[in-house]
Structure 1
Amino acid sequence: MLADQKRGIHLSQVELLCKDGCGYYGNPTWDGYCSLCWRKRSRKTETNKQENGVDEKKRREKSRRSSSVMRLLWGSPSPPRQESSETPEATLKAFQSLEPGDFRGFLKVMRRPSSQRLQSQCTAFLNTIQAYHDLPIQKQSDMVQDFYQSIADHFSSLPDEQVTQMMEHIEKLIMTNLHKWVFCHDSCDDEQKDLTLQRRIKSLNWVTPQMLHVPFPKGGSDISDPYLPAITAIIEMDAKRAPQDKLSCVSRCSQNVFQALALSNNHPANADDFLSALVYVVLRANPPRLHSNLNYVIRFGLPQSLMAGESGYYFTNLSCTVAFIEKLDGPALNLTAEEFNSYMQGRTVPPRPPEGDSKKKAQENRQQLEDLKKRQESVEQGVRALREQLDQWVRCVQEQVEEVRARSTLPHLDQVQEEPDGHAGEPSLAPLRDGAAAELRPGNGEC
């Protein structure tokens, strides 16, 4: 009995951490290592290859290109800079006074003359990446990460929390402009992996919450799915451009998952419940370009946001969820290989819920339809009343207009008129002149 109820989705806290034991979160994309350990290993391997197979001419060419890139990046030290009356310390205080998440305030401080050096570095780096956008995506990722590390020294005198805040603003400034150049780059196969993952998720549309052991509120239905806010949040991730904004969508999705679990369980949710529910959310949502979005955050996001903290934990679980879906098989769902293949090929459909649950759901649906009908009738009644009031108002306005017209009718010509000079009581000569003129017109017998 216990074997039947054993979850196929299980990850311990140790499995989420880096293989090198540095204490940070690892990632399946980095073969289980954290960002720092993975880059150290990659650069060490790359250095060994260069030492074994690179001649002196290529080294000189590489050095020349590196110098050119550095000149473009940092600019020439020879041109004189315009001195500002505002000291660097005052600028740092201005950065320090910003509220968390105040990106507009950060941009205002960046426009100050005292921030000219920092602004020039960012502008030069953006121009460099755009000029070398044909470089392999991993090279561009290394350049961005090196830029983050060099810019962090500019805020080294600030507390660690504010350094993190400033670096988040720098990341948003840089990657919002570079998104169109580096997202789903031609040098990688992210687009093909996106299509493969979408087809995989679509082929698993038969997986039910019961198979994943996802807790659901009793009597819940698709209309009142408690995981819908989480599904919406994970879909919104593709619309964001900055890595931290994509991470915010992942965090919001995970928090909504925990809220749904709290509604479904009488006890606090554990890591297995969270991972199972996250798998269900991804299968229901089938987010667009999920693989590309994950790699984009990994390549160009701030390392500290992925290796530690709440956002790092949520992102690591989402990466493990994608890896689990790609390798999903029968034993993970407590199914035999034959049953799993039968579901995948469409020969078998998932079992329906018990008859009592079906009747209860049908009754809930009927009750919701009746409530909607009553609301519709109430709205229609209000529309009719409003239309009657509008017609009555139009009639009232028309009556008032007619009354005003009747009171402002001009006097007839046979009445006595006053001369323009204003002599009251004297008969007007205008009718006589008009009559004489009429008699002298042709057709009255006069020559």
Structure 2
Amino acid sequence: MWANKQRGIRVSQEELLCKNACGYYGNPAWQGFCSKCWREKSRPAGTPRQDTRPSSDGGLPTFSKFEEKKNIEKGRRINTVRRLFWGSSSPPKPQESPESHAKVLKAYQNLEPGDFTGFLKILRSPSSQRLQSRCTAFLNTMEAYHDLPVQKQSDLVQDFYQSFAEHFRSFPEDQVTQIMEHVEKLIMTRLHKWVFCHDSCDDEQKDLALQRRIRSLNWVTPQMLSVPFPDETIPVTSDPFMPAITAIIEMDAKRAPQDKLACVSKCSQHVFEALSTSNSEPANADDFLSGLIYVVLKANPPRLHSNMQYVIRFGLPHSLMAGESGYYFTNLSCAVAFIEKLDGPALNLSPEEFTGYMQGQRAPAALTKRQQLASDTQHLLEELKGRQEKLHQGADVLNAQLQKWVQTVHSQLDEATTQFALVRMEMTAQAEVSQVVSPSAHDASQQGDDKEQTMLLFNDQRLGSQDTDC
């Protein structure tokens, strides 16, 4: 049935990229644009656009390059943030000396990648008091104005990222990225409870709708999605996609956007590993997207829509626009969009078949086989449980019989011991009597011996005389 059909859900690399042809990854949440182009597109009419083309060196998007051409709207928003921080449109003059500034920059420059604890130590040092004060003021302001619409909060957070990165504009771009990842983790761990699934948006309703949609598609099999999954040889308990399912479920427990992205990356890597073990051919992009859709359908991750929107609104731009994490997150967005619009032709099913599956009137053969296998396993477990109960009952009966036998042996041993004591007493008494009568018995025995010797001598003499006669 599947030999003459295209394998996998085919999405070309061009379809994953931004519709504005800027070279970065797009996202269905931004109507196919990347976050940079989407923000530019959403600006009021008449506002000059920034240059969204990729750099000539082909490098990743950077913080300093994002701010090369300031515009009026960006300046107004930054001034608003500054007024919230310091009460005026301009920040206070820095009081630190050039030596202190150079010292703190050197400390950040020597920071190891991923050392969040070391970043906190440097930030809390006296030389970083100015940066620490900015973070504290921003956090206090965001918590005080947590009733703002979530998009306004997103703009404030993104502006804070840009203004904070300006402090390290002399650093190489990879170091700026590492420092800003620490800043994002610090800020968003504190703000998570205020901005995640905010009341000003409909994330909660969309979460419930997506969850119901995925639950209604629990009948979809790997064969329908053209996922290389050998149902005939792999038992139910050995699903190769189980690590990926676990990783995508863990995303809801994380607070920082980069930690949620790490769960998406971990899930995607497990999908590639599962595809490599289930298929003799190397996994391609089509197989990966099909496998990711299967994982989402089987996992039904909690608050998936809210988690994705949280990463989109408050994550660092470079994490979603390029790189491995951006590719994986874009594929996850495509998988969710595919599930929301899933119909019969997408699964090589007729509309009647699709409706029958959705209404529970039909069941795939592979799913029926797995259900039968699960039912047989359940019956086997129940049978083994009954055997175990009978075994326990037999062991109890045997134990009671053993205890009764031990008691019988003990009673017989006691009786034998008593009889032995009586016999010993009788033997002792007989020995004493024999010692009293021993002299007379000795004489009688001696007389008997003498008589016997006399008879023997007489017989010898008689025999001797007979020999002489001869």
Interval containing the TM-score (normalised by the shorter chain): 0.7 to 0.9
Residue 355 of structure 1: CA displacement? 8.0
Of the three residues 49, 70, 88, the one matched with 2:82 is 70
Matched AA of 2:28:
P
Please give the alpha-carbon distance, in whole angstroms, between the structure 2 residues aligned to 1:64 and 1:323.
35
Give the structure-1-normalised TM-score.
Answer: 0.73
Q: State whether residues 221 and 367 of structure 2, in contact with CA within 8 Å, keep that contact through their aligned partners in structure 1.
A: no
SS at 2:44 equivalent: helix
- The answer to whether structure 1 residue 351 and structure 2 residue 365 are counterparts is yes
Give per-residue Cα distances to partners, 1:10-39, cap 9 Å, x unaligned: 100000000000000000000000000000
Give per-residue Cα distances to partners, 1:345-379, cap 9 Å, x unaligned: 011111147989988x989x989x99xx9xxxxxx
Structure 2 vs 1, CA of residues 26 and 81 (structure 1 numbering), >3 Å: closer, same or farther?
closer
Structure 2 vs 1, CA of residues 101 and 129 (structure 1 numbering), >3 Å: closer, same or farther?
same
Name the % identity: 70
Aligned pairs for 1:16-415 (under 5 A) are 16-45=16-45, 69-74=81-86, 83=96, 87-217=100-230, 219-352=233-366
Matched AA of 1:41:
K
Residue 5 of structure 1: CA displacement? 2.2
Q: State whether residues 221 and 366 of structure 2, in contact with CA within 8 Å, keep that contact through their aligned partners in structure 1.
A: no
Matched AA of 1:296:
Y
Residue 301 of structure 1: CA displacement? 0.3
Q: State whether residues 236 and 370 of structure 2, in contact with CA within 8 Å, keep that contact through their aligned partners in structure 1.
A: no
Give per-residue Cα distances to partners, 1:167-193, cap 9 Å, x unaligned: 000101111111111100111000000
Matched AA of 1:33:
F
Please give the alpha-carbon distance, in whole angstroms, between the structure 2 residues aligned to 1:355 and 1:38.
47
Structure 2 vs 1, CA of residues 75 and 84 (structure 1 numbering), >3 Å: closer, same or farther?
farther
SS at 2:266 equivalent: helix
Give per-residue Cα distances to partners, 1:87-141, cap 9 Å, x unaligned: 2112111111111110010000001111111111111111221222121111111
Q: State whether residues 19 and 26 of structure 1, in contact with CA within 8 Å, keep that contact through their aligned partners in structure 2.
A: yes
Give per-residue Cα distances to partners, 1:263-313, cap 9 Å, x unaligned: 011111011100111001000100000000000000000000000000000
Q: Which moved more, 1:144-153 or 1:81-90?
A: 81-90
Q: State whether residues 219 and 357 of structure 2, in contact with CA within 8 Å, keep that contact through their aligned partners in structure 1.
A: yes
SS at 2:42 equivalent: helix
- CA-atom RMSD in angstroms: 3.2
Which structure: larger Rg?
A: 2
SS at 2:224 equivalent: helix
Please give the alpha-carbon distance, in whole angstroms, between the structure 1 residues aligned to 2:36 and 2:111.
29
Q: State whether residues 4 and 334 of structure 1, in contact with CA within 8 Å, keep that contact through their aligned partners in structure 2.
A: no
Please give the alpha-carbon distance, in whole angstroms, between the structure 2 residues aligned to 1:315 and 1:66.
29
**Match of residue 402 from structure 2:** none
Structure 2 vs 1, CA of residues 165 and 20 (structure 1 numbering), >3 Å: closer, same or farther?
same
**Match of residue 410 from structure 1:** none
Q: State whether residues 28 and 323 of structure 1, in contact with CA within 8 Å, keep that contact through their aligned partners in structure 2.
A: yes
SS at 2:146 equivalent: coil
SS at 1:18 equivalent: coil
Residue 65 of structure 1: CA displacement? 10
Give per-residue Cα distances to partners, 1:35-58, cap 9 Å, x unaligned: 00000011135969xxxxxxxxxx
In structure 2, runs of 5+ residues without a counterpart are: 49-74, 388-470
**Match of residue 385 from structure 1:** none
Structure 2 vs 1, CA of residues 41 and 65 (structure 1 numbering), >3 Å: closer, same or farther?
closer
Structure 2 vs 1, CA of residues 154 and 79 (structure 1 numbering), >3 Å: closer, same or farther?
closer
Residue 6 of structure 1: CA displacement? 2.0
Please give the alpha-carbon distance, in whole angstroms, between the structure 2 residues aligned to 1:46 and 1:115.
40
Matched AA of 2:177:
T
Matched AA of 1:211:
M
Please give the alpha-carbon distance, in whole angstroms, between the structure 2 residues aligned to 1:22 and 1:214.
32
Please give the alpha-carbon distance, in whole angstroms, between the structure 2 residues aligned to 1:20 and 1:257.
30
Q: State whether residues 135 and 187 of structure 2, in contact with CA within 8 Å, keep that contact through their aligned partners in structure 1.
A: yes
SS at 2:263 equivalent: helix
SS at 2:360 equivalent: coil
Q: State whether residues 8 and 332 of structure 1, in contact with CA within 8 Å, keep that contact through their aligned partners in structure 2.
A: no
**Match of residue 443 from structure 1:** none
Structure 2 vs 1, CA of residues 353 and 192 (structure 1 numbering), >3 Å: closer, same or farther?
closer
Give the structure-2-normalised TM-score.
Answer: 0.70
Q: State whether residues 19 and 26 of structure 2, in contact with CA within 8 Å, keep that contact through their aligned partners in structure 1.
A: yes
Structure 2 vs 1, CA of residues 177 and 211 (structure 1 numbering), >3 Å: closer, same or farther?
same
Please give the alpha-carbon distance, in whole angstroms, between the structure 1 residues aligned to 2:178 and 2:3.
48
Structure 2 vs 1, CA of residues 69 and 16 (structure 1 numbering), >3 Å: closer, same or farther?
closer
Q: State whether residues 123 and 131 of structure 2, in contact with CA within 8 Å, keep that contact through their aligned partners in structure 1.
A: yes
4+ runs deviating over 3 angstroms = 1-4, 44-48, 63-69, 74-86, 352-359
Please give the alpha-carbon distance, in whole angstroms, between the structure 1 residues aligned to 2:91 and 2:280.
69
